[in-house]
């Protein structure tokens, strides 16, 4: 299929001679004389002729000497290849063969045999002995003298030689010229890379240049789809409006040279002898002529295929042009992969930035210091499982020393959740007249936030607690949030209290019940988010409300200081979770009626 | 090949054209057969010898051993440069007396 192997930089002109001799000493001797004459005609000097004659005689004699009865029926073959720089001989015999010794030394001076191999090795530059079953090949190579002072080749031979050299030179020049063009082009592309981020535009210009340099009439560039299942068309050149190519599935029934090239990882040539299949999508843009399809890979991953075509059927691409195709497209492949990686990194950076913004918003919403409200003292904590959680709490001092406590969990993450937390915060803060009526406050906040929340399918659970230092009680209302947990000195167990309505954003006209809970001296109350009660241990078991109540009772019994109590609580929670990572935000406000 | 007995002690072999695997054993045997028992000096005139291979070298060694056994010598007369080269290459020029000119 492909007879366009890249041409050698310098093609050597070699002539060949092949002789078969009957397996007898006299016959092989005659053959070596024939070789000598032939080599003399090639202009080898006398010293070389002598060396070759003796080396061949020794080799051929061995082939005869060690031939068994069967091998004696078969000829000894001598092949000579004479080049400009060396001569190579192959002596093929059918003996059992022998192990070519690693060191070939002269035998004792009195020995009447054993000098053959030594002579061969001394007379040629390179000896290779290939031993096969039933056939052995001895390959001998000897360089020709560099300056052939004695050589007087005939004019015809000289002309042939000259023609060969000229062809080689022309090839070299063409190759150099195209290499230079491609190098210049690639450098130009490299310098433009920073300025051009549009991959399609970049590919378009590169492909157009390639077409021009490689003398192609049309080109198709396809890239593998993101799911890796099909080849999608990026470019069809020349880009006429009516030329559009549908994607082709990598695995499918369509016979396509592009799929074939991608599958077999080799260039596929098509032309008059091997036309495109009737169903090949390329038929639409390359109906006649010939072309080559090259699939390109980066890090062993298919990136796409590039096809160059010519309208003229009888003019196929040369080896140099195919080299150009490879160079350009492999360069493009790297740019494509780089661009894709850049895209992924950009997305990751944007996401990272968004999370950072959200985290900043959320942090700014939390009270910078916890006000006191004697005889009540407070402690609060908010730890996020992810960079930004939906949890939020607020402690708002109002006139007459009262406090409004807010704890909420926005269902959602990122900037939108943080923004809703911010809106909820300011909505509540804007209604100080309703602080002592938490139920009414939640209902109003729900009405205000409902349109925005429902539009984005988000909702918020919240609990609001009104703390009046003069009344030793806490008034709470809950919008789908965790209940208030209370512990008293006179009762060993903590309890969960309060009713709950819909979360904010579910139902515009929800009413929220209020619960008044006395907080006698020594009592502790806990507002929290479900991240606490839904903590899981290594076995995957959830702590639950009851578990949290036990921890609260234990912590409250240990200390009457809310700050210390908070640490006890969090430490116990951490113990429970063990090494399990935090899966949800944990936010709490601990209220203590200090004695 | 021609074998002449110059005198009772000296024999001269001339007209050796090639000494190769094809004729090495035969040459050896013919010379041995023609040598008088009194011969202690065997001169091999190599001036006509155009080619010598390792089998031919074997013949020279064999004759050398024959002559040595009777306290005689083998001399190689006027070898051509290519023959002399082979003798030197195989270091047999140290074994034989080579007479040039």
| Chain A contact set for B80 (CB, 8 A) | none
Tell me, what's the pLDDT at A173? Answer: 63
Query: A15-153 and A174-341: same fold?
Result: no
Q: What are φ and ψ of residue A324, in 5° steps?
A: -60, -45
- The answer to whether A243 faces chain B, any CB pair under 8 Å, is no
Contact (Cβ atoms closer than 8 angstroms) between residue A501 and residue A442: yes
Closest B-chain CA to A63: B21
Q: Residue A4: its pLDDT value, please?
A: 43
E strand intervals along A413-541: 460-468, 473-479, 484-487, 495-497, 515-518, 524-528
Taking CB atoms and an 8 Å limit, are A26 and B22 in contact across chains? yes
What is the distance between the alpha carbons of residues A360 and A418, in angstroms, rounded to a whole number? Answer: 9
A contacts of B56 (beta carbons < 8 Å):
none
d(CA A356, CA A349): 10
pTM attached to this predicted model: 0.43
Say yes or no for a CB contact (<8 Å) between B90 and A106.
Answer: yes
Q: How close A150 gets to chain B, by Cα (Å)?
A: 18
Give the pLDDT of residue A2: 41
Tokens encoding B84:
């002399």
Per the CB < 8 A criterion, the answer to whether A391 and A593 are in contact is no
- A 105-124 residues inside an 8 A Cβ radius of B: 106, 109-116, 118-119, 122
Q: Which domain holds residue B37?
A: 2-99
Nearest to A57 among B53, B58, B90 (CB): B53
Mean pLDDT of B67-93: 91
How many H helices and E strands in chain B? 3, 7
Structural domain count, chain B: 1
Residue pLDDT, tens place only, B14-37 = 999 999 999 999 999 999 999 998
* Cβ separation A110–B61 shorter than 8 A: yes
Measure in Å the smallest separation between the Cα of A111 and chain B Cα atoms. 7
Which one of B21, B61, B95 has the shortest CB-CB distance to A112? B61
Confidence at residue A1, expressed as pLDDT on a 0 to 100 scale: 41
pLDDT by residue, tens only, chain A of 595 residues: 444 444 333 456 788 899 999 999 999 999 999 999 999 998 999 889 999 999 999 999 999 988 888 888 999 999 999 988 899 999 999 888 888 888 888 888 888 888 999 999 999 999 988 887 778 899 999 998 875 444 455 666 666 766 776 776 666 666 656 655 666 666 566 656 555 557 788 888 888 888 888 888 889 999 998 888 888 888 888 876 456 788 888 887 678 889 889 888 888 888 888 888 888 888 888 777 889 999 998 888 889 999 999 888 778 888 778 888 888 888 888 888 887 777 777 777 777 777 777 777 777 778 888 888 888 999 998 887 665 567 889 999 988 889 999 999 988 766 777 778 888 888 998 898 999 999 999 999 999 999 888 887 788 999 999 998 888 899 999 999 999 999 998 887 888 888 888 999 988 999 999 999 999 999 999 999 988 998 888 888 899 999 999 999 999 998 989 999 999 999 998 888 887 776 777 899 999 998 7
Reported ipTM: 0.91
Query: Which residues does A206 contact at the CB level (< 8 Å), separation at least 6?
Result: A185, A189, A328, A331, A332
Q: How many residues does chain A have?
A: 595
Q: Is A174-341 assigned to CATH 3.30.450.40?
A: yes
Sequence-separated (6 or more) residues with CB below 8 Å from residue A26: B22
Put simply, whether A158 touches B (Cβ < 8 Å) is no
Q: How big is the A-B interface in CB pairs under 8 Å?
A: 60
Closest partner residue to A25 (CB to CB) among B21, B54, B58 is B21
- A64 chain-B contacts, CB cut-off 8 A: 21
Instruction: Show residues of chain A in contact with B55, CB under 8 Å.
Output: 61, 113
| Closest by Cβ to A29, choosing from B22, B57, B62 | B22
A394 touches chain B (CB under 8 A): no
- Residues A297, A32 contacting (CB under 8 angstroms): no
Of the candidates B101, B84, B57, the residue with the CA atom closest to the CA atom of residue B93: B84
Tell me how far apart the alpha carbons of residues B35 and A207 are, in angstroms, rounded to a whole number: 90
CA nearest B18 in A: which residue?
A: A29
Scanning every residue of chain B, which has its alpha carbon at the shortest distance from the alpha carbon of A47? B82
Count CB-CB contacts under 10 A for residue A562: 26
CA distance A305 to A285: 15
Q: Do A54 and B53 touch (CB under 8 A)?
A: yes
User: Among partner residues B20, B92, B94, which is closest to A29 by beta-carbon distance?
Assistant: B20
Which residues of chain B are within 8 Å of residue A119 when distances are taken between CB atoms?
53-54, 86, 89-90
A58: chain B residues, CB-CB within 8 Å: 53-54
Spatial contact of A57 and A29, defined as CB atoms under 8 Å apart:
yes
Q: Pick the residue with more confidence: A356 or B84?
A: B84
Q: How far apart are CA A47 and CA A478, in angstroms?
A: 112
Q: What class, spelled out in words, does domain A15-153 have in CATH? A: alpha beta
pLDDT at A10: 45
Residue contact B57–A64, C-beta within 8 A = no
Confidence (pLDDT) at A242: 53
Q: Closest approach of chain A CAs to the CA of B45, in angstroms? A: 20
Chain B residues with CB within 8 Å of chain A CB: 18, 20-22, 51, 53-55, 57-59, 61-62, 65, 82, 85-86, 89-92, 94-95
Nearest residue of A to residue B60 by CA position?
Answer: A112
- Percent of chain B scoring above 70 in pLDDT: 99
Q: Are B54 and A116 in contact (CB under 8 A)?
A: yes
Fold exhibited by the domain A366-593 = Phosphatase 2c; domain 1 (3.60.40)
Taking an 8 Å cut-off on Cβ atoms, the answer to whether A119 and B91 are in contact is no
Determine, for residues B58 and A112 on separate chains, whether the beta-carbon distance falls below 8 Å.
yes
* Residues A218 and A210 sit within 8 Å (Cβ to Cβ): no
Q: Which of B20, B82, B89 sits opposite A57 (nearest CB)?
A: B20
CATH number of B51's domain: 3.30.750.24
Residue with tokens 């006139």: A399
Chain B interface test: which of A26, A35, A50, A64 (most B C-beta within 10 Å):
A50
Q: Which of residues 33-92 of A touch B (CB under 8 A)?
A: 50, 53-54, 57-58, 61, 64-65
Question: Which alpha helices (DSSP H) does A193-318 contain, by range?
Answer: 199-214, 257-264
Q: Rounded to a whole number, what is the distance in Å from the CA of B1 to chain A's nearest CA?
A: 17
- Distance between CA atoms of A85 and A497, rounded to whole angstroms? 103
Where do the domains of chain A lie? 15-153, 174-341, 366-593
Which of A29, A53, A119 is closest, CB to CB, to B54? A119
In sequence order, which residues have a C-beta less than 8 Å from that of residue A22 and are 6 or more positions away? A75, A76
A53 vs B51, B85, B90: nearest CB: B51
**Hey, are the CB atoms on A119 and B89 less than 8 Å from each other?**
yes
Pick from B92, B45, B57: which is nearest to A109 by CA?
B92
User: Which residues of chain A does B26 touch, with a Cβ-Cβ cutoff of 8 Å?
Assistant: none
């Amino acid at each position: 299929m492909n007879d366009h192997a890249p041409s050698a930089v310098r093609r050597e002109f070699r002539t060949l001679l092949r002789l078969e001799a009957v397996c007898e000493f006299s016959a092989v001797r005659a053959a070596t004389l024939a070789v000598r004459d032939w080599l003399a005609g090639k202009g080898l000097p006398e010293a070389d002729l002598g060396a070759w004659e003796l080396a061949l005689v020794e080799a051929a004699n061995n082939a005869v000497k060690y031939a068994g009865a069967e091998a004696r029926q078969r000829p000894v073959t001598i092949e000579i290849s004479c080049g400009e720089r060396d001569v190579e001989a192959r002596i093929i015999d059918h003996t059992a063969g022998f192990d070519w010794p690693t060191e070939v030394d002269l035998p004792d001076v009195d020995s009447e045999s054993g000098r053959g191999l030594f002579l061969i090795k001394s007379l040629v530059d390179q000896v290779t002995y290939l031993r096969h079953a039933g056939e052995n090949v001895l390959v001998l190579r000897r360089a020709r003298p560099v300056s052939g002072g004695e050589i007087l080749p005939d004019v015809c031979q000289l002309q042939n030689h000259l023609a060969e050299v000229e062809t080689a030179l022309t090839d070299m020049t063409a190759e150099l010229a195209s290499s230079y063009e491609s190098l210049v082009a690639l450098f130009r592309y490299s310098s433009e890379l920073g300025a051009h981020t549009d991959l399609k535009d970049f590919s378009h210009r590169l492909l157009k240049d390639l077409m021009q340099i490689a003398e192609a009439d049309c080109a198709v560039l396809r890239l593998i789809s993101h799911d890796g299942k099909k080849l999608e068309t990026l470019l069809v050149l020349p880009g006429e409006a009516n030329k559009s190519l549908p994607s082709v599935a990598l695995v499918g029934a369509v016979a396509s040279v592009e799929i074939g090239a991608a599958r077999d990882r080799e260039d596929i040539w098509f032309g008059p002898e091997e036309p495109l299949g009737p169903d090949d999508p390329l038929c639409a843009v390359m109906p006649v002529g010939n072309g080559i399809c090259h699939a390109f890979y980066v890090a062993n991953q298919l990136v796409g295929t590039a096809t160059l075509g010519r309208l003229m059927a009888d003019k196929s691409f040369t080896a140099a042009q195919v080299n150009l195709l490879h160079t350009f497209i492999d360069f493009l492949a790297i740019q494509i992969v780089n661009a894709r990686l850049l895209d992924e990194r950009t997305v990751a950076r944007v996401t990272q930035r968004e999370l950072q913004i959200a985290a900043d918003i959320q942090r700014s919403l939390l009270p910078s210091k916890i006000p006191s409200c004697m005889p009540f003292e407070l402690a609060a904590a908010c730890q996020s499982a992810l960079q930004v959680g939906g949890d939020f709490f607020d402690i708002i001092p109002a006139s007459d020393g009262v406090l409004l406590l807010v704890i909420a969990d926005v269902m959602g993450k990122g900037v939108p959740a943080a923004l809703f937390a911010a809106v909820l915060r300011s909505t509540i803060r804007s209604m100080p007249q309703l602080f002592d009526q938490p139920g009414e406050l939640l209902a109003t906040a729900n009405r205000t936030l409902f349109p925005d929340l429902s539009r984005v399918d988000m909702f918020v659970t919240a609990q609001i607690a009104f703390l009046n230092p003069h009344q030793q009680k806490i008034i709470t209302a809950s919008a789908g949030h965790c209940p208030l947990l209370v512990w008293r000195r006179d009762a060993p167990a903590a309890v969960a209290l309060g009713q709950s309505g819909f979360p904010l954003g579910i139902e515009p006209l929800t009413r929220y019940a209020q619960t008044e809970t006395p907080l006698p001296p020594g009592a502790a109350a806990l507002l929290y988010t479900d991240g606490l009660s839904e903590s899981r241990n290594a076995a995957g078991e959830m702590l639950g409300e009851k578990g949290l109540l036990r921890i609260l009772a234990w912590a409250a019994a240990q200390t009457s200081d809310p700050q210390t109590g908070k640490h006890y609580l969090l430490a116990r929670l951490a113990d429970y979770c063990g090494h399990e990572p935090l899966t949800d935000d944990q936010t709490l406000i601990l209220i203590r009626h200090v004695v | 090949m021609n074998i002449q007995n110059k005198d009772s002690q000296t024999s001269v072999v001339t007209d050796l054209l090639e000494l190769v695997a094809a004729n090495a054993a035969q040459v050896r045997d013919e010379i041995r057969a023609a040598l008088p028992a009194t011969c202690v000096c065997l001169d091999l005139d190599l001036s006509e010898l155009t080619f010598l291979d390792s089998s031919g070298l074997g013949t020279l060694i064999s004759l050398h051993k024959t002559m040595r056994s009777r306290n005689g010598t083998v001399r190689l007369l006027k070898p051509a440069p290519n023959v002399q080269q082979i003798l030197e290459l195989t270091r047999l020029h140290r074994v034989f007396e080579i007479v040039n000119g």
